[in-house]
Each structure stands twice: as C-alpha cells, then as structure tokens.
Amino acid sequence: MIKAEQKPFEEILEYLAPYNKILLSGCGACVTVCHAGGEKEGALLASALRMARQKIGKPLEILESTPARQCEPEFAQELSDTIGRVQAILSVSCGVGVQTLARHFPATQIFPGVNTTFLGETVAHGVWEERCQACGDCILEKTAGICPIARCAKQLLNGPCGGSSNGKCEIKRETDCAWQLIYDRSKSLGQLHRLTEIIPAKQWGVQSRDSGPRRIVREDLKV
C-alpha cells in the first residue's frame, strides 16, 4: 500500500497562517493503514493545530471529515457542501487525494498534510519498508522476487556493487542489500545460474515515469 508520514508541524502551521477556517480531510484507506492520515491522526492534527493557533491568539476553526477514499470522484463530491464553508483544505491523504480534491474544487486552496513516501510492505507493526517504484515494467521474475530498482540504492540490474558487506547496503547500514537477498533467495531456489546471465539495460521508455506521466485506459470498462 501507499505509505506516508505526517509533515513537520511547523510547516503545516506556516502555510495555514493566513486562513482561519479550514477543512481537514483524512482518507480511510492507505494513510489509515499506515497511521499517517486516518481519522485518528487527522483528529490529533486538528486538535494540535487548534491549540497552537489558540496559543498565538489567532483561533483556527477546523471542520473534520474522513471519506473512505479520497481518490474517487464520488467521495470528493461528498465534501462539496463543506468546501463552500471553508477558506482552504488541509488534506492528510496521500498525494493522489490532495490532487483529486484540487481538481474537483479549483477555487479552493489546498495543502498536503503528509509526505507520501513509497509503496511499501509492513515488516512489523509500525515499521514499513519500500518495495516498489511503480516503474511500469516489472522485472521481478528475473531477480527471484526481490526488486533491485526499488530496494537497491543504485538500482543495479547486475549487482551487487562493491559496497555490500555482511548483507547490508553501505549507504544505509540498516537496509538489507537487495542483491544479497536476491543471491540468497536464488540460491535457495536453486536458480543461481540465472544470475550469471547479463540483464540488459532497462527500457525506461516502455511504461516508466521517464516516459512521462502515465495513463491506463480499459476501453471495455469505459462508461
């Protein structure tokens, strides 16, 4: 799922300074699961903002609402009547939600409350790790199910580099070296020979971000 972290509090305070009535909109899906922008964290942020503004004598009125998902037009429309009553929106959903509301409500200023960070896996309760770069051209079958594009600091396709020592990446000591994992897993699957074949350069033009913002269309589904 999409993983995000709340933005530094001072930053949010700063860009909300000119406004005194806003809508704080959470999202019930990914940011709820990673405890960044669900109803609980949204209410916490709202309460903190009210107190901070009260402390400097400029009270801030915050309406709170958390639709099930912010990236669907219907859920955005649900907020339309409250939008009329506020000067700005602080959305604590991921970047997608913020931009959906921006598209649906062109006249209202909108601010992100979280930093959307990566597509990740829950390694333990409260610990999430990056797993996918959404490059649009998956190579996981070549690397025993571990993606070097997302999990290697140098995105090597013929790793490991000279800096991998006792299974850890030299750039971040706590991160596992993706290629050590690929090597170990290939060994356990008995597919070490596959690692001796050179993986050719990745075609970034096929479906990756480098070929420009992407769009998926299913003609059969179109209404």
Partner 1 sequence: MKSGSNLEKVFVNGHFAVTAELGPPKNNDVSVIQRKVDFLRGYVDAVNVTDNQTAIVRMSSIATSAFVIQMGMEPVMQMVTRDRNRIAMQSDLFGATALGIKNIVCLTGDHHTFGNQVNAKNVHDLDSVQLINMVKTMRDEKTLMGGEEKIEGDVNMFIGGAANPFADPFEFRALRTAKKAAAGVDFIQTQCIYDMERFKEWMKMIRDLGVHEKVHIMAGITPLKSAGMARYMAKNVAGITIPDAIIDRMAKAAKGSEEGIKICVEQIQEVREIEGVHGVHIMAIEWEQMISKITEMAGLLPRPKVE
Partner 2 sequence: MSTFEPKIVAFCCEQSGLPALEMAKTLKLKMPDNLELVPVPCSGRIETLYLLKALESGADGVVVFACYEENCQYLQGNVRLKSRVGYAKQIMTKIGLEGERLEIFHVATNSGVKFSEFLMQKADQLRLLGPNLGKIA
Partner 3 sequence: MYRTVYKSKTAAPAPINLKPEVLIMGGGIVGMTVARELAREGVQVVIAEKGETLGGGARDLHFFYDRPADVQKWMGDLISTLEGEGNIHVLKGAKLKRLDGQLGRFQALVRTSDGMERTLSPSAVVVATGCITRPAEAMSDGSRCIGSSEMEKLLAESRDLPLTWKGQPVKTVTFILDLTNDDIKIHTVNAIKQAVILREKGCQVAVVARDLKVSASGIELLYRQAREKGVLFFKYDEPPVVSHTGDGISVEISDMTVLRKEERETVSLLSDLVIIGETFAADPETLELCRVMKLRAGTGGVLMEDNPQFLRVMSNRRGIFLAGGCRFPQVITESLSEAHAVVQEVKALLRGGVYTPVNPVAEVDPPKCAVCYTCVRLCPHAAIGVERYGDRNIYSAPAEKNGDTLWGAARVDPAACFGCGICVAECPARAITLYQ
> Of 125, 152, 147, whose CA–CA distance to 136 is shortest?
147
Task: Determine which residue in the list 43, 88, 102, 199 makes contact with partner 2, applying CB under 8 A.
Answer: 43
CB contact at 8 A, 17 and 49? no
Task: Determine which residue in the list 170, 191, 206, 214 makes contact with partner 1, applying CB under 8 A.
Answer: 170
Task: Choose from partner 1, partner 3, partner 2, none: what does 215 bind? Cβ within 5-8 Å by kind.
Answer: none
What is the spatial distance between Cα 9 and Cα 6, in angstroms, rounded to a whole number? 8
**What part of residues 99-158 is at the interface with partner 1 (CB under 8 A)?**
153-158
What is the spatial distance between Cα 169 and Cα 163, in angstroms, rounded to a whole number? 7
Q: Is the peptide bond before 160 cis (omega within 30 degrees of 0)?
A: yes
> Between residues 21 and 214, which has the closer beta carbon with respect to partner 2?
21
Task: Determine which residue in the list 40, 187, 209, 214 makes contact with partner 2, applying CB under 8 A.
Answer: 40
Task: Determine which residue in the list 107, 124, 127, 198 makes contact with partner 1, applying CB under 8 A.
Answer: 198
Q: Is residue 161 a contact residue for partner 1 (CB under 8 A)?
A: yes
CB contact at 8 A, 53 and 12? no
Burial of residue 15 (CB within 10 Å: 0-12, 13-18, 19+) is middle
> Between residues 113 and 159, which has the closer beta carbon with respect to partner 3?
113
Could you tell me how many residues of this chain bind partner 1 (CB under 8 A)? Answer: 27
What is the spatial distance between Cα 34 and Cα 119, in angstroms, rounded to a whole number? 11
Q: Is residue 102 a contact residue for partner 2 (CB under 8 A)?
A: no
**Structure tokens, 132:** 């996918």
Nearest distance from residue 40's CB to partner 2, in Å?
6
CB contact at 8 A, 126 and 120? no
Task: Determine which residue in the list 18, 57, 126, 200 makes contact with partner 1, applying CB under 8 A.
Answer: 200
Residues with Cβ within 8 Å of residue 4, at least 6 apart in sequence: 30, 31, 34, 36, 37, 94, 114, 115, 116, 117
> Between residues 3 and 151, which has the closer beta carbon with respect to partner 3?
3
Q: Is residue 40 a contact residue for partner 3 (CB under 8 A)?
A: yes
Interacting residues toward partner 3 by CB under 8 A: 28-29, 32-33, 35, 38-41, 43, 66, 68, 122, 125
Residues at the site binding partner 1, with contacts judged by CB under 8 A: 153-167, 170-171, 177, 180, 183-184, 195-196, 198, 200-201, 204
